[in-house]
Structure 1
């Protein structure tokens, strides 16, 4: 099984939810993830992005490549509701946090685009 699918299973286990529940949480149709896991096939980048958005506490480097710690260091200041209560200074922290999420999502997109390009090149070689 590829690293991404394996890590999605681990994430679901760590969150104490089923793959079906994870599919509902990210808004995918039923069996999008479970079918990919069962058949060891790729999933669309939009589902990886939805997982990263829904579970920002998980490192994108870990999710995609199993590199580094599974969980990102989270602080009280990464909680949006807490930030709203604490005032303007914390909006700066929120902005930094959002930039980190955007950078992580850009890494996800770059990685998936490279995988797609490699797959296309291999397919062209075989044809």
Structure 2
């Protein structure tokens, strides 16, 4: 069985579906992958392209060459801009990356809350300064 076919089977397993169900999700005829897996034959490149188009979270490098992680790194979104994890984090488990993303998300919530408090305090300060100016004029 080809290594690519083994990795396609891993993708189907990771998605929690049978190879037959997986074939249907990418528009392949029933048995395209099953026959190739059974007979150890090749598949058409259009099915690889369809797989990558329908499952963009999977790494093409991993699928085709078996190199790197199965899943692409998830972006960390900081104030509307996407920052992708870089080579410094290669090899870090998805669980660690997910935990870091949760920390960033929690910190963003804290920052937004503090911005509201600062806005309220600045407004209150302005009111107090206004009252002070009024008292000084008397």
TM over 0.5: yes
State the structure with bigger RCO (CA 8 A, min sep 6), 1 or 2: 1
TM range (shorter): 0.5 to 0.7
Could you say which residue in structure 2 is the equivalent of 1:109? none
Could you say which residue in structure 1 is the equivalent of 2:120? none
Distance 1:43 1:26 in 2: 13
Aligned-residue offset at 1:38: 0.6
Aligned-residue offset at 1:31: 0.3
Higher share of residues assigned helix? 1
Task: State the TM-score, normalizing by the size of structure 1.
Answer: 0.59
Aligned-residue offset at 1:53: 0.6
Could you say which residue in structure 2 is the equivalent of 1:27? 27
Could you say which residue in structure 2 is the equivalent of 1:57? 57
Task: State the TM-score, normalizing by the size of structure 2.
Answer: 0.54
Instruction: Extract unaligned runs of 5+ from structure 1.
Output: 78-88, 94-127
Could you say which residue in structure 2 is the equivalent of 1:70? 70
- Any runs of at least 4 consecutive aligned residues in structure 1 with deviations exceeding 6 A, and if so which? none
SS state of the match for residue 49, structure 1? helix
Distance 1:36 1:53 in 2: 21
Distance 2:35 2:2 in 1: 13
Aligned-residue offset at 1:76: 6.7
Instruction: Extract unaligned runs of 5+ from structure 2.
Output: 83-138
Distance 2:56 2:21 in 1: 17
SS state of the match for residue 71, structure 1? coil
Distance 2:5 2:28 in 1: 15
